[in-house]
Amino acid sequence: MPQGMQQPVRVGGGSARPGLRLLFMAALPMLLAVAAIVAVVTVQSRAAAEREIAALEERLLAAKKEELRNYISIARTAFGAIYGNALPDDARAKREVMQLLAAMLYGQDGYFFVFDYDGWNLVAPRQTQLINRNWLGLTDSEGTPITARFIEIARQGGGYHTHLWWKPTTGEEAEMVTYVIGLQDWRWAVGTGIFIDDVRETVAAARAETEARVRRSFLYFGAITLSGLLLVFLSGLTLNLRERRLADARLKALTQRVFDTQEEERGRVARELHDSVSQMLVGVRYALELARRRLRAGDARAAESLEKGIDTLSGTIQEVRRISRDLRPGVLDDLGLGPALKALVEEFGRRTGIETEFQTVVFRNRLDQEAKIALYRIAQEALTNIERHSGATRVSVMVRGHKQGAILRIQDNGHGFAPQAGARADGAGLGLRNMQERIEKLDGTLRILSSRSGTLIEAEVPLTHMLPPSSKSQESA
C-alpha cells in the first residue's frame, strides 16, 4: 500500500521538471528582450534629452545674440548722425562718438568698446586700463585670439565671436559672446559683449533635471515594459496559432489549385488528342482501308486514296509535334528563350491570322533554366488569353536583357480587361494567377496595364537568375 502511494509522487515530480525548463526557456528570451529594449530606450532617452538641452542652449544663446544686436543697433542710432556727417579724419566727431559710447553702460558688466584696425583700444569705460594701449596680439587663457578677431570681423562688416574675457565685477575670466561691427571710414571695430555663464548654469540645471527624469522613466518603463511583453507574448502565441491555421488553409487551397491546374492541363491535352490527333488518325485509317479495297478490286484510284492517307498522316505528325511543343518546346532547351519565343509568336500568327511582331536583343548573360521556362510559359499564357478574349488584330512581343536582369513585354491592341478579375474564385482568372505565381517564385515583378485600347503585360526577372556568359557563345535572344 505505501509503495502504491509513492508511484504518483514520482510521476508528478518527473513531469514538473520539464515544465519548469520549458517555462525558463520561454522566459529567458523575453527577459533578454526586455533588457535590450530598456537599454535602447534609455540610450534614446538620454540622446533625446541631450538634443533638448542643446536646443535650449541654442535658444538661450540666440536670445543673447539678438540682445547684442539690439544694443549695437541702439548705439548706431545714437552716433549715426555724427558718423554719417563726419569726414574720415574728423577728430572732433571721433571724440564725440567715443564719449557717447563710453557713457552707454548697461547692467553690471555691460559696456561698449572700440579698437582701431591697428589694435589700439580707444573706448573701454569699465576697464580703463585697456585704453590707449595696443592689444593686437591679445588672446584668452585658452589661446583664442581676441583683438585680431575683432578687427577681422569688423573688416568683414560685422559678426559674433565667442571667447573668454575678464568680468568687470569679479575680475575673473568668464565665457562671453561679443558682437562687433566695423566703421570702415574711421577704421574702427565697435562692439559689445554679454557674459553667458548664466546660460551655462541654466543648461547645467536642465541637464541635472533631465538625468533625474530619465532615471524615473527607466524605473517606470521597466515595469510597464515587463507587463507589456507578457501581454505581447500571450497575444503572439495566440496569433501564431491562428496564423498557423490560416497557413494550413492557404496551403490546402494552393495544393488544390495545383491539382486543378494539372487537371485542366490534362483535360486540354486530352481534348486536343481527341479533337485533332484522334480524328486525323481515324481519317488515315479510312483512307488506308479504302486504298486496300481499291487495290483488291484493281481500282486505279487506290494510289489516290493512299496519297490522301499519307498526307493526313503527315498532318497528324505535325499535330503531335505541336502538342509536344506546347507541353515542352525542344527549341527552348536547344537554342534558348529567344528562338523559342520567336517560334511561338510565328506559329500564333499563322494559326490566328493576327499580325505579330517579335523583337529581341542578344543576352550578355544567359538565363537559368527556371527563368527561361517561366518567361516562356507567361508568353504562352498571354498569347492564349489574347486569342480567346482580346479581339486584338496586332500583337508585339519583346524580350531582352538589361543591367537588372531580363524583361519580357507583350502588348496587344484589343479591348482590354479588368486586371482585378484575375482574383475571382470562379476560375476565370486562373491564367493571370499562374503568371503571377511563376514570376513571384523567381522574386521578379509582373505588371499588367489594361485599357480599352489594349493590354500590356510586362514580366521582369532579377539579376540573380542570370548565369555567367557562356564560353562558347552568347545566348541569342
Q: Compute the distance between CA of residue 80 and CA of residue 72 in angstroms, rounded to an integer.
A: 11
Q: For 329-467, CATH number?
A: 3.30.565.10
Helix (H/G/I), strand (E/B), else coil: 137 = coil
Q: What cell does 345 get?
A: 509568336
Specify the pairing of strand 355-360 against strand 394-402.
Answer: parallel
86-195 folds as: Beta-Lactamase (3.30.450)
- Measure CA 49 to chain center: 29
What pLDDT is stored for residue 11 in this prediction?
A: 35
Q: b or e along 310-331 (b: 16 or more beta carbons within 10 Å of the residue's beta carbon)?
A: eebbeebeebbeeeebbeebeb
Residue with cell 574728423: 90
Residue 429: is its pLDDT beyond 70?
no
Domain-wise residue ranges, the chain: 86-195, 329-467
What 3-state class would DSSP assign to 297?
coil
pLDDT on residue 438? 83
Q: What are phi and psi of 442, to 5 degrees?
A: -95, 5
In this structure, are residues 195 and 174 in contact, taking their beta carbons and an 8 Å threshold?
yes
241/163 Cα distance (integer angstroms): 67
26 pLDDT above the threshold of 70: no
Is 159 a residue whose pLDDT tops 90? yes
Quote the DSSP letter at residue 398: E
How many other CB atoms are there within 10 angstroms of residue 93's CB atom? 18
Crossing angle (nearest 10°) for helices 302-327 and 279-296: 160
Q: What is the pLDDT of residue 5?
A: 37
pLDDT at 462: 86
φ and ψ at 356, to 5 degrees?
A: -125, 155
Q: Which residues of 20-41 are buried (b: 16+ CB within 10 A; e: fewer)?
A: eeeeeeeeeeeeeebeebbeeb
Look at residue 420 in the predicted model and tell me its pLDDT. 55
Give the rounded percent of residues in the chain with a pLDDT score beyond 70: 79
> Could you tell me which residues are beta bridge partners of residue 396?
357, 411
Instruction: Give the amino acid at 166.
Output: W
* Interatomic CA distance for residues 410 and 385, integer angstroms: 12
pLDDT at position 178? 94
> What cell does 220 get?
517606470
Q: What is the pLDDT of residues 90-129, one digit of tens each?
A: 999 999 999 999 999 988 889 999 999 999 999 999 999 9
Which amino acid type is present at position 295?
L
